[in-house]
Amino acid sequence: MPTAEKVIDALGTGRRKTSVARVRIRAGNGKLQINERELEDFFKIQQDRNAVVAPLEHAGVRNSVDVVIRVHGGGSTGQAGACMQGIARALMRYDSDLDAKLREKNFLTRDARMKERKKPGLHGARRGTQFSKR
């Protein structure tokens, strides 16, 4: 009876603003899928595409792993940042030797900047009413 080949998946979760990305990495040939779409179809802006593949390029594993991402919430920039952090965390679980390499470019650090809440009596977080002399 032949032995079944075991597929090892590394999981990682990334967050940015209000976006959450769940990332699954396995050995493969460089296929990258986001919400069942290709990278170029999902992120139209080149800057967002570069952000998503940056951890893979920096770690030198772009063409040796397959990445499957499920992302929701927020806008395109927030989703790209969430994917970037999720990929970095999954890579760390996939190969713990990459930890120092990923940390030197701050791929594992959560960007804690959030939108400031609106205050009562104001038009926005800080914008007040226009002053009227008469």
Q: Is residue 81 part of a domain?
A: yes
Helices (H), the chain: 39-42, 46-59, 76-94, 99-103
Q: Is residue 124 part of a domain?
A: no
Where in the sequence is the domain holding 97, given as residue range(s)? 10-103
Q: What is the pTM assigned to this prediction?
A: 0.88
Report which residue type is found at 66. Answer: D
- What pLDDT does 62 receive? 92
Tell me the DSSP string of 9-34. -EEEEEEETTEEEEEEEEESSS-EEE
Overall domain count for the chain: 1
Q: Is residue 110 part of a domain?
A: no
Please answer whether residues 39 and 49 qualify as being in contact, where contact means their C-beta atoms are separated by less than 8 angstroms: yes
Q: Is residue 131 part of a domain?
A: no
Q: Residue 115 phi/psi, 5° resolution?
A: -70, 135
CATH number for the domain spanning 90: value is 3.30.230.10
Q: Is residue 122 part of a domain?
A: no
pLDDT per residue of the chain (134 residues) written in tens, 0 to 9: 555 555 589 999 999 999 999 999 999 999 999 999 999 999 999 999 999 999 999 999 999 999 999 999 999 999 999 999 999 999 999 998 999 999 999 999 999 999 999 999 999 999 999 999 98
